[in-house]
Amino acid sequence: MKNIVLAIIGFFRKDNFKLGLILGLFAPVLGFLSFKWYKFGIFSMKEFLQFIYLEPGFKTLSAALSISLLANAVVFTFYINTLKDKTAKGIFVTTAVYGFVILLIKTFA
């Protein structure tokens, strides 16, 4: 068990662009899930997604997506402060892609 924990810690200490892409993809998902849990904990995921889809004005969707990108910002800041620039670049690229997709959703939906 100790070896597994050490391997995981070692994995997150790497300065690798691909690691940044992976973290940048999963951090917003965790942010979205934490928003769902905190604000809509009593609803199932299906009910939550239906509410977001049917809500006029997209206020809940905007809040959920903002929290998702905030999770990426936290991970990005951690890797910048620990001087892991390649990993931070990967996180930044995925954040920019998420931001562009969010802009498209808000503009055309």
Query: Considering the domain boundaries, does residue 10 fall inside one?
Result: no
Residue 44 domain boundaries = 15-108
Query: Considering the domain boundaries, does residue 23 fall inside one?
Result: yes
Residue 91 to residue 77: CA distance in whole angstroms: 10
Query: Considering the domain boundaries, does residue 1 fall inside one?
Result: no
Residue 43 in tokens: 């609803």
CA distances from 72 to 3, 44, 103 (A): 28, 25, 16
What's the pTM value of the predicted model, to 2 decimals? 0.81
As for how many domains the chain has, the answer is: 1
Q: How many CB atoms lie within 10 A of CB 45?
A: 10
Continuous H helices in 41-58: 45-54
Show pLDDT as tens, one digit a residue, over the chain (109 residues).
Answer: 766 666 566 667 778 899 899 999 999 999 999 988 998 888 898 988 888 888 776 677 888 888 888 999 999 999 999 888 899 999 999 999 988 988 887 787 6
